[in-house]
Structure formats: structure tokens, C-alpha cells
Amino acid sequence: MAMASTATAAASPRLAFPLLSAPASSSSSSNTLRFPLRRRRASRPLAVAAFKKLSEASPVPIPQEPTQPLVDEDALPPSPESTASTSPPGSCSSSGFRVTVSDEETPDRAALNNAWKSWMEEHIEATGKAPPGNVAGNYTWVGAPQRPPDLRLMPGRHVQLTVPLEQLIDRLVKENKVVAFIKGSRSAPQCRFSQRVVGILEAHGEDFVTVDVLDEEHNHGLREALKTYSNWPTFPQIFVGGELVGGCDIISSMAEKRELAALFQK
């Protein structure tokens, strides 16, 4: 019984483990199952698999997009305007639109001025006041004029003057026709009297310069020096033609009596 089992074991094939090991010896080669070892090939990039060099690639033609043929102008139907009538000289028409060049002359300035006066009279009669943008100081349709900067007597507070401050004031009022010494700047007065003086001078349309007596950085000591020069204790002070005219009260009174405009015309 033991011999039969041994013979059966010898006749049946035996497996050698590991399956991917080296081949067995020649004595047991007939009864051993051998599986060949497959080595995995290294993957190549697609471009290298296709061609090795860029010069070896063959160009691929790109088909052009079909273009639509241009419409022949002769094949278009005639426009209704051109078949109905002939355009007069000096005008051009196309598909129902007509542009006519007018030979009329531009209206003169007197005609435009008369039309504006008639419109003003009708508006005042209907509403009791002038139309917007037609009153002095009203900037409804146009922007406010740019105000020039204030004058400065010295570049800085710590700059030593080579001439007395009164001499600078005298030169300033004589070289400019109208000079207003005010509190604050021309664009932002610091008191209502200075603001009123600036408004009166701008309403008269006269060119004038302003000096800020509160600017101690560029007009250091001006307030006391100006009081001595003009013998006037308050501000603002307005000079015309090198002479002191007065302050806010005098300027306002002269404007109401139309004396200020006459003074500017001298």
C-alpha cells in the first residue's frame, strides 16, 4: 500500500514554488511546471514612440475655412428711393434716407441776440424771474471759474527778509491794480466780511489779487505791518491803484451806489 502511494506521487506532476523562481534541475525538469518571467517594458512617451526627431515629422495640412463670396453690387435690387425719383443736386439718398446739404447762410449774431432777448422776456413774464444760468454768479450751465492762488510775501517763515515788510507791501499794492488783504484764502475766506468782499469783486468782473493775513507761514507779521502801513485797524483792506479804499462796509456801499464800477474804470 505504501509502494502504491509512492508510485502515484511519482507519477503525478509536482509544482515548484515559487512559480517565478529559477528553473529546476535537469532531473526534475519533466515533472515541474515552469512559468517564464515576463519583464515589464519601460513605457515610452508618445512623442518618442511616434518619431525620434522633430525634423522627421511630416507636416499636416490644415484645411482653410470656406469663405462666403462677396455679394455682387449689380445683383442687388435697386432701392425704392432711386427708382421712384431722382435726388436733387446737393443731396444724397440711400434706402429711404436722404441727406440734404443746405445752402442757407448761418444766422448773424444780431438775429441770435434778438431771439435770446425774446426768450428772456417771455420767461420773465411767465415766471417772474430770469431763466437758470442767466443771473450773475449762477453756474447752472457752466462750471465755476478757477480762482487764482493767493499771493505770498515770503517763501517761508524762517526765511530772513533783506528788505522791510512795509516795502514789500508798498510794492505789492502798486504793481497790482486791485489788492484785497483778507482773512483766509480767496477760495475759502475765514470771515463773512472777507467772503462778502470777494463776492463783490468777482461780481464786478475785475481782476484782483488776494493776500491771506492769517497765513503766518508765508506772511509772517503781515497783520501788524499792514495796520501800520495803511493806518487801518481792521480787515479786510482793499487797495485800488496803490491807494486804500476801505473795508467791507465801504466796498459794499460803493457797490450799491455803482461807484465801485466807476472806480475800476479809471
In a domain, 183, yes or no: yes
Looking up cell 517763515 gives 157
CATH of residue 241's domain is 3.40.30.10
Rounded to two decimals, what is the model's pTM? 0.47
Burial 175-205 (b: 16+ CB within 10 A, else e): ebbbbbbbbbbbeebeeebbbbbbebbbeee
Give the pLDDT of residue 159. Answer: 82
Task: Tally Cβ neighbours within 10 Å of residue 224.
Answer: 10
Question: Measured between alpha carbons, how far is 166 from 146 in angstroms, rounded to an integer?
Answer: 30
Three-state DSSP string of 22-36: CCCCHHHCCCECCCC
Helix, coil or strand: residue 218: coil
Asked if residue 256 is part of any domain, the answer here is: yes
Q: Which residues of the chain register pLDDT less than 50?
A: 1-13, 15-30, 44-51, 81-87, 90-91, 93-97
Enter the C-alpha cell of residue 204. Answer: 464786478
Q: Which residue has the cell 457752466?
A: 142
First to last CA, the chain: 156
Q: How many domains does the chain have?
A: 1
CA dist., res. 49 & res. 129, Å (int): 93
Structural domain contains residue 227: yes
If we measure between CA atoms, which residue out of 152, 205, 203, 217 comes closest to residue 195?
203
CA–CA separation, 139 and 203 (whole Å): 13
Specify burial of residue 71 (Cβ count, 10 A radius: 0-12, 13-18, 19+): exposed
Per-residue confidence (pLDDT) for residue 167, from 0 to 100: 92
Per-residue confidence (pLDDT) for residue 161, from 0 to 100: 83
Q: Which residues contact 90 (CB under 8 A, 6 or more apart)?
A: 100, 101, 103
181 in a structural domain: yes
CB neighbour class for 210 (10 Å; exposed up to 12, middle 13-18, buried from 19): buried
Structural domain boundaries enclosing 174: 165-265
* Residue 57 belongs to some domain of the structure: no
User: Residue 234: inside a domain, yes or no?
Assistant: yes
Is residue 198 within 8 Å of 144, Cβ to Cβ? no
Partners of 189 in the β-ladder: 184
Residues 6+ apart with CB under 8 A from 98: 81, 87, 91, 92
Which string of b and e fits 36-63 if b means at least 16 CB within 10 Å? eeeeeeeeeeeeeeeeeeeeeeeeeeee
Within a domain: residue 205?
A: yes
Residue 79 covered by a domain? no
C-alpha distances out from residue 84 to 81, 87, 97, 171, 231, Å = 5, 10, 13, 81, 89
Residue-wise pLDDT for 179-234, tens only, equals 999 999 998 999 999 999 999 999 998 889 999 999 999 998 999 999 999 999 99
